Chains A and B, each alone.
Chain A
Amino acid sequence: MITQEQYRTRVKELLSSGTVKMVIGYKPGSTPDRRRPLFIRTAEEANRLVLDSACITNLSGYLVTEGLLSDEKKVAIFLRPEGIRSINILAAESQLNADQIIILGFDSTGSVVKTLDGTHAGDFSELLGSIKQNSPVKPSEVLFEQVEQMTPAERFAFWQEEFSRCIKCYACRQACPMCYCRRCIVDSNQPQWVNTSSHTLGNFEWNIVRAFHLAGRCVECGNCGRACPVNIPLRLINRRMAQEVIEAFDHFPGLNQTQEPVLASFKKDDSETFIL
């Protein structure tokens, strides 16, 4: 609870001094285990903020919605390490100016919350570097292992079954900080690249598009999987893609703001004879 108090005090300072125009954090939700995103503009509202281990949503996506940062004013935001990585990627992809973002960093182990030292994305590079070092080569999840062990045909059947439930609500896309495109490729109809229908083929198309467009950009914050109303285990796809990218390119997204996007960079001396 010390952490929550520390942060409330800090938020009050930031708002009353006019350093930031808004703070994005968490407040209690509709059930004891739920937390909701909270946007506050005055110091008086700071006491509405909660900070505990149930604050899991990666809030960074709100920074790039509806021109929030277009007035060049600063915004403070509560972020876990994955959220800080998102800021770095958004900055590297020219979606925001990281100087405008004051980070209230935190992390948790069990129910214990700890603050992270630093205020700007650049201050956390050491921490992020060590996360890269310690990132698991293989996750401990049983289901992931099971899917890995499957034959291609079995794996196809597994995903066919999972994707058959998809209703194309695009909650996974909307919840993802990296899905900021003003016109998503699946919404484009001149030409219509991807069928809009939510039949098995259309669902496959969407989920494969999502997997590819997030490869090397996903920070595994879990927003997409938690958002999915039919509980498709999207984290398995994210994990697999993250693993591919680190194995093939030693690329761990979101380390800093100058990291080149792995699927959008090109080297003349690339050993491959083609690019995708």
Chain B
Amino acid sequence: MTKILFTDKLHNCVEKWQSAGLTVIGPVQKANSSSYATVKNAGELDFNMVLPDRSIKELFFPQTEPILHYSIKKQEINTRESLPPNEPRIIFGARACDASGLAIDDPLFGWDYKDEYWFQRRNESVIVTIACTKADDFCMCTSLTLAPDSTKGSDVLLRPLENNKGWQVEELTERGREAFAKIADFLQESSEPAAPLAVVEEKFDLDSCVAWLKNPENFDSKFWKEISMRCIGCASCTFLCPTCHCFDIQDEGDTYSGIRRKNWDSCSFSLFTMHTSGHNPRSTQSARWRQRIMHKFNYFPGKFSVNSCSGCGRCSRQCPVDMGITETLQEISKLSQ
């Protein structure tokens, strides 16, 4: 017997959570594009997509966020810090890759400076992950030592039932238990079997890729130029990536008053490393693409002992020129054999 949440009770659960003061967020398909969005009721949630186009990252690290308001008068300068409003929330229907992505970024945001914006939202969010029963050609969690039912970063893991009428409930953290205690009335003990997980084949051998990247000789390999010739240097891959975390600080306003904001930035842009002198240490797109790969699979794990990729596949799925992490690592796998 396992604890089951039946789909027909989801309406009640959403209402219950909302009346307990939680904002309910989940996968929503809207205007030809999908994301994790706030819903008014369970009917708005869409469990049919493989995964939302946009990653869970934006709920914790939005594309633009005010951090400071300033005003400057003749004799005084006033500043007011702006933290996100307190908003306890439950994210229902996260994917394992997205939840893992958050856990991957936790050490980064808490390393030399504790990013209050990130951690306030992390602490206020309950992440309920639904194990994947379907995947597409781009999914590659298994290549990154994860799986469609990884629990990393999740507070509760749900496994879809074979008959598609609900989910087996596995509470993983205290926060998860608390949230599910609120809906205990709507849960049932039952022995319904779980549906088989999505089959996600391993696409490359991660260890040999990492070893190749760590070899300093390969930094100047002509491979980088060849693999990235078609990259057009947009930020689609970095902005959709659940683990890419770079941002820029920008002041909006004038000399007298304005807002300092934290905006997504991307190493794919040539402006990312442009010096005031006009010199650009990463002056070619191949150097920028190398940075993206090196950062994810060499520098980041060097510092935090985990690769900065959860295998969601968005970088390849949405790339305008059909590039992405997958192809590059597959080619590196071949080179390192």
On chain B, which size bracket covers the interface?
35 or more
- Per the CB 8 Å criterion, the residue count for chain A at the interface is 39
In the assembled complex, the Cα of A202 lies from the Cα of B264 at a distance in Å of 13
Which residues of chain A have C-beta atoms less than 8 A from B264's C-beta? 167-168, 198
| Cβ-defined partner of B322 (8 Å) among A30, A174, A229 | A30
| Cβ-defined partner of A174 (8 Å) among B32, B33, B234, B250 | B234
Q: A202's closest neighbor in chain B, by CB?
A: B64
A90: interface (CB < 8 Å): no
Within 8 A of B (CB), among A44-63: 57, 61-62
In contact, B234 and A170 (Cβ under 8 angstroms):
yes
With A165-B33, A175-B320, A198-B64: A229-B236 Cβ-Cβ less than 8 Å? yes
Q: A35's closest neighbor in chain B, by CB?
A: B322
In contact, B239 and A229 (Cβ under 8 angstroms):
yes
In contact, A37 and B239 (Cβ under 8 angstroms):
no
A31: interface (CB < 8 Å): yes
In contact, B321 and A167 (Cβ under 8 angstroms):
no
With A196-B250, A231-B32: A61-B232 Cβ-Cβ less than 8 Å? yes
In contact, B236 and A169 (Cβ under 8 angstroms):
yes
In the assembled complex, the Cα of A235 lies from the Cα of B137 at a distance in Å of 27
With A171-B320, A198-B264, A199-B64: A230-B54 Cβ-Cβ less than 8 Å? yes
In the assembled complex, the Cα of A43 lies from the Cα of B321 at a distance in Å of 24
Which residues of chain A have C-beta atoms less than 8 A from B261's C-beta? 197
In contact, A165 and B263 (Cβ under 8 angstroms):
no
With A30-B138, A37-B321: A227-B234 Cβ-Cβ less than 8 Å? yes
Which residues of chain B have C-beta atoms less than 8 A from A31's C-beta? 137
Which residues of chain A have C-beta atoms less than 8 A from B54's C-beta? 167, 229-230
A210: interface (CB < 8 Å): no
In the assembled complex, the Cα of A38 lies from the Cα of B285 at a distance in Å of 16
A187: interface (CB < 8 Å): yes
Within 8 A of A (CB), among B288-337: 316, 318, 320-324, 326-327
In the assembled complex, the Cα of A54 lies from the Cα of B81 at a distance in Å of 52
A223: interface (CB < 8 Å): yes
B189: interface (CB < 8 Å): no
In contact, A197 and B252 (Cβ under 8 angstroms):
yes
Which residues of chain B have C-beta atoms less than 8 A from A175's C-beta? 232, 234, 320
In contact, A30 and B285 (Cβ under 8 angstroms):
no
Interface string of B210-250 (1 = CB under 8 A from A): 00000000000000000001101111101110000000101
B271: interface (CB < 8 Å): yes
Which residues of chain A have C-beta atoms less than 8 A from B248's C-beta? 196
Which residues of chain B have C-beta atoms less than 8 A from A57's C-beta? 321
In contact, A30 and B64 (Cβ under 8 angstroms):
no
| Cβ-defined partner of B236 (8 Å) among A61, A202, A227 | A227
In the assembled complex, the Cα of A39 lies from the Cα of B228 at a distance in Å of 11
In the assembled complex, the Cα of A181 lies from the Cα of B54 at a distance in Å of 28
Which residues of chain B have C-beta atoms less than 8 A from A126's C-beta? none
In the assembled complex, the Cα of A65 lies from the Cα of B284 at a distance in Å of 10
In contact, A169 and B239 (Cβ under 8 angstroms):
yes
Least distance between B130 CB and chain A CB atoms (Å): 23
In contact, B235 and A171 (Cβ under 8 angstroms):
yes
In contact, B31 and A165 (Cβ under 8 angstroms):
yes
Interface string of A214-230 (1 = CB under 8 A from B): 00000000010011011
| Cβ-defined partner of B230 (8 Å) among A36, A165, A173 | A36
Which residues of chain A have C-beta atoms less than 8 A from B252's C-beta? 195, 197
Least distance between A2 CB and chain B CB atoms (Å): 26
In the assembled complex, the Cα of A57 lies from the Cα of B232 at a distance in Å of 12
In the assembled complex, the Cα of A173 lies from the Cα of B248 at a distance in Å of 20
In contact, B234 and A168 (Cβ under 8 angstroms):
no
Least distance between A54 CB and chain B CB atoms (Å): 11
B145: interface (CB < 8 Å): no
B48: interface (CB < 8 Å): no
Q: Find the residue from B32, B53, B234, B263 having the highest chain A CB count within 10 A.
A: B234
Task: Please name 9 further chain A to chain B contacts, defined as beta carbons within 8 Å, in addition to the given A175-B234, A196-B248, sorted by A numbering.
Answer: A66-B285, A165-B33, A168-B264, A169-B239, A173-B234, A196-B263, A197-B64, A197-B263, A231-B31
Q: A-side interface residues toward B, CB under 8 Å?
A: 29-31, 34-39, 57, 61-62, 65-66, 161-162, 165, 167-171, 173-175, 187, 195-199, 202, 223, 226-227, 229-231, 233
Q: B-side interface residues toward A, CB under 8 Å?
A: 31-33, 35, 53-54, 63-64, 137-138, 229-230, 232-236, 238-240, 248, 250, 252, 261, 263-264, 266, 269, 271, 284-285, 316, 318, 320-324, 326-327
Give 13 A-B contacts (CB < 8 Å), ordered by A residue.
A36-B323, A37-B321, A39-B229, A66-B284, A167-B63, A170-B235, A171-B232, A171-B236, A174-B320, A187-B271, A229-B53, A229-B318, A230-B54
Across the A-B interface, give the 7 residue pairs with the lowest CB-CB distance, nearest first. Answer: A227-B320, A171-B234, A174-B234, A197-B64, A169-B235, A174-B232, A37-B230
